[in-house]
Amino acid sequence: MYTSTAAKRWHYLILALVAVGFFTELIRSPFSIIVPLLIIGTIYYLYKFPPRWLLQITSSSRPVVRRTNHLSKGKPETKKRRRFRVINGNKKEML
């Protein structure tokens, strides 16, 4: 996408103002920035690298049961090959 130089300047100006606001807020009250970042970082870390005890709690305690088809008597079913059919439509031929 092509953007003009004036649009690029506005983007840089807005990014600079956001950075200035972030640093002034960090200097005034650092805990208002650090605490949410730590909480979000901890949640992200636990999501990406979950500990074993958390995996054991969330995993199902029931054994996985495979379902089998009770109708078949040990012989695997094969699909029947059907002939290709063309259904004639009502559209008029155009030549």
**Domain total in the chain:** 1
Q: What is the pLDDT of residues 38-56, one digit of tens each?
A: 999 999 999 898 888 877 7
Q: Is 90 within the bounds of a domain?
A: no
Angle at which helices 5-28 and 31-48 pack, to 10 degrees?
100
pLDDT at 63 > cutoff 80: no
- Retrieve residue 52's tokens: 């074993």
Range of the domain at 37: 5-58
Q: Is 86 within the bounds of a domain?
A: no
Q: Quick one: pLDDT at residue 84?
A: 87
Q: What is the pLDDT of residues 5-30, one digit of tens each?
A: 888 999 999 999 999 999 999 899 98
Nearest Cα to 18, choosing from 26, 30, 28? 26
* Contact (CB, 8 A) for 33 and 26: yes
Q: Is 91 within the bounds of a domain?
A: no
Q: Is 72 within the bounds of a domain?
A: no
Q: Is 38 within the bounds of a domain?
A: yes
Predicted TM-score (pTM) of this structure: 0.42
Distance, CA of 40 to CA of 25 (rounded, Å): 18
Q: Quick one: pLDDT at residue 6?
A: 87
